[in-house]
A and B are shown apart, each in its own frame.
Chain A
Amino acid sequence: MSELRTILLAEDNPKDVELTLEAMAENNLANQVVVVKDGVEALEYLRCEGKYKLRKAGNPALILLDIKMPRMDGIEVLRRIRSDVALKRIPVVVLTSSREEKDLINTYDLGVNAYVVKPVSFQQFIEAVKQIGSFWAVLNELPPEGGL
């Protein structure tokens, strides 16, 4: 646990990105966050493709996934991650403002680890991020890297 664990944040709205990073900063987690703005970029990062070709290898400890994103949305990303042998063990937490039944059903059916609805109150959001971070990025035992 000495090594800093990377958190991949997939979020298209820049304000939400900023607020999430601020919330993580309040919890000293900001250094480890990689931000991508849609599903396509998320997969590029995970597969070390495109502009991420030369990144340090290894899966992130956690993926924070928004659902509504352009080009490729969160559900599709989740589907591809869970069907990729190298990626399917990565913990994924959906972080969204939608509590719609169909989103819950689809993501849980695809094997999401957790589903967090962003509270309107920023104070509560900070608290939520703290809990998420301290569990997934600190306490949780990381899965072994998936073999190819």
Chain B
Amino acid sequence: MKKQNQSEAKTFRQKAEELLKNKSAQSVLRLSENKIQQLIYDLEVSQIELELQSQELTFQNEEKEKRADELIIANKELLFQNEEKEKRADELGIANKELLFQNEEKEKRAAELVIANKELAFQNEEKEKRADELIIANKELLFQNEEKEKRAAELSIANKQLESFSYSVSHDLRAPLRHIDGYVDLLLRRFYDTLPDKAKHYLDNIADSSRQMGILIDDLLQFSRTGRQEMRQTELDMNSIVQEVLKPIKQDNPNRNIEWHIATMPPIYGDQALLRLVWTNLLSNAVKFTRNREKAIITITVRDEKDEFIFEVTDNGVGFDMQYAQKLFDVFQRLHPTDEFEGTGIGLANVRQIILKHGGRTWAEAKPDEGATFYFSLPKEAEKGSRQ
């Protein structure tokens, strides 16, 4: 444009110069030329400014379009965000429903928990009642134990008293007996010739009685000792015990015709020394009370019952009347006169006492003059802590 303007100006100028021969016209022309110059200048400036502005506008437009593009992207983004937001809103809606459901469940659980707590509180009360009862029961048990220990202590004292009583009996009762026997013997010995027969007879009886008393004392002491003895239980072979016991019995009765039938016996649990005493008593009795038979037949058998063994000693001796069988195992009780069969009547009492300690029983059957059978049972399980 500039060029156009300038060529136009130039052309104008030439034309003007032509015309300008006139000075005033020249001067006016010059003025006009200046004005035009000025105008051209201004125009150019304006043109430049315009161009600048146009450039600026173009730039602005470009920027505007960039901004527009960006805005479109931003709008798309926003749309997308909105879609997402709606999805989230939907999800939140579901989540809320879920939460609502959970809350309902929670309230149900809370209600159940309240009931459970009430139940627990009740249980705890019960537990505390039980605990209290247990404390009382424990106190009771402690008391029982104390009582038990008192009883055990009393028993121990009673046993010791019995022990020293036995000692006194053993020593103090025997002394006067010895004296009686001694002086009676001396009387008979030193004054035999001067004593009338009757006197001798009386003196004999005195001596007999004191001897008898000595045996009674020994038997009673033995009985008392057996009763207080601690049982030492082991597994035993009854067969060998019986054989041991038979030896002295056979030795003491060499001239007797005795047929022995002894069954094989099972091993049992018991106190060896005490059971030996039992067999000694029973077998000696069988031998004694078959004394009047040509041939004595003594049989030992054993029966296997569920929880116990039953031992039987049968003889073909003088037997006894069952009417009095109750007294058979009592201390010093006899069913036969002493002049027919000697003895103090302690043997069977010992047997009963010992068998009782083992947890067994004793009994007997007989017919007068048709022999007798003596029974005792022993439990298969060891007897724990049985005392008289």
The residue from A13, A22, A97 contacting B186, defined by CB atoms under 8 A apart:
A22
Name the interface residues of A92-129: CB closer than 8 Å to any CB of B: 96-100, 118-123, 125
Known A-B contacts A97-B175, A120-B214; the reply to A125 vs B182 at CB < 8 A is: yes
| Complex Cα gap A93–B184 (Å) | 26
**Does B211 lie at the interface of the complex (its beta carbon under 8 Å from any beta carbon of A)?**
yes
CB-based contact A120/B186 at 8 Å? no
CB-based contact B182/A19 at 8 Å? yes
Known A-B contacts A98-B167, A98-B170, A100-B170; the reply to A123 vs B175 at CB < 8 A is: no
**Does B174 lie at the interface of the complex (its beta carbon under 8 Å from any beta carbon of A)?**
yes
CB-based contact B182/A97 at 8 Å? no
CB-based contact B174/A120 at 8 Å? yes
Known A-B contacts A120-B177, A121-B211; the reply to A22 vs B171 at CB < 8 A is: no
**Does B237 lie at the interface of the complex (its beta carbon under 8 Å from any beta carbon of A)?**
no
The interface residues of chain A lying within 8 Å CB-to-CB of B26 are: none
The residue from B175, B184, B214 contacting A16, defined by CB atoms under 8 A apart:
B175
**Does A68 lie at the interface of the complex (its beta carbon under 8 Å from any beta carbon of B)?**
yes
**Does B178 lie at the interface of the complex (its beta carbon under 8 Å from any beta carbon of A)?**
yes
The interface residues of chain B lying within 8 Å CB-to-CB of A120 are: 174, 177-178, 181, 210-211, 214
CB nearest to B166 among chain A residues: A100
**Does B185 lie at the interface of the complex (its beta carbon under 8 Å from any beta carbon of A)?**
yes
CB-based contact A100/B211 at 8 Å? no
CB-based contact A100/B177 at 8 Å? no
The interface residues of chain B lying within 8 Å CB-to-CB of A55 are: none
Chain B interface helix/strand/loop/mixed: helix
Name the interface residues of B148-179: CB closer than 8 Å to any CB of A: 167, 170-171, 174-175, 177-179
CB-based contact B171/A97 at 8 Å? yes
CB-based contact A122/B181 at 8 Å? yes
CB-based contact A97/B174 at 8 Å? yes
CB distance from B34 to the nearest CB of A (A): 170
CB nearest to A99 among chain B residues: B170
**Does A71 lie at the interface of the complex (its beta carbon under 8 Å from any beta carbon of B)?**
no
* Range class of the B interface residue count: 10 to 19
Chain A interface helix/strand/loop/mixed: loop
The interface residues of chain A lying within 8 Å CB-to-CB of B182 are: 15, 19, 22, 122, 125
CB-based contact A100/B186 at 8 Å? no
CB distance from B204 to the nearest CB of A (A): 13
CB-based contact A122/B185 at 8 Å? yes
CB distance from B93 to the nearest CB of A (A): 104
The interface residues of chain A lying within 8 Å CB-to-CB of B167 are: 98, 100
CB-based contact A19/B178 at 8 Å? yes
| Complex Cα gap A125–B179 (Å) | 11
CB-based contact B178/A100 at 8 Å? no
CB distance from A49 to the nearest CB of B (A): 30
The interface residues of chain A lying within 8 Å CB-to-CB of B170 are: 97-100
As a 0/1 sequence over residues 177 to 202 of chain B, the CB contacts with chain A under 8 angstroms (1 = contact) are 11101111110000000000000000
The interface residues of chain B lying within 8 Å CB-to-CB of A16 are: 175, 178-179
| Complex Cα gap A125–B182 (Å) | 9
Interface centre among B182, B186, B210 (most CB of A within 10 A): B182
The interface residues of chain A lying within 8 Å CB-to-CB of B214 are: 120-121
| Complex Cα gap A120–B210 (Å) | 8
Q: A118-B174, A120-B214, A121-B211 are in contact. List 20 more A-B contacts (CB 8 A).
A: A15-B183, A16-B175, A22-B182, A68-B171, A96-B171, A97-B175, A97-B178, A98-B167, A98-B171, A100-B167, A100-B171, A118-B178, A119-B178, A120-B174, A120-B177, A120-B210, A122-B181, A122-B182, A122-B186, A125-B182
Smallest CB-CB A-B distances: 4 pairs: A122-B185, A120-B214, A19-B182, A122-B182
* 16 A-B pairs whose Cβ atoms sit less than 8 Å apart in the complex: A13-B175, A15-B182, A15-B183, A16-B178, A19-B179, A68-B171, A97-B174, A97-B175, A98-B167, A98-B171, A118-B174, A118-B178, A120-B178, A121-B185, A122-B178, A122-B182
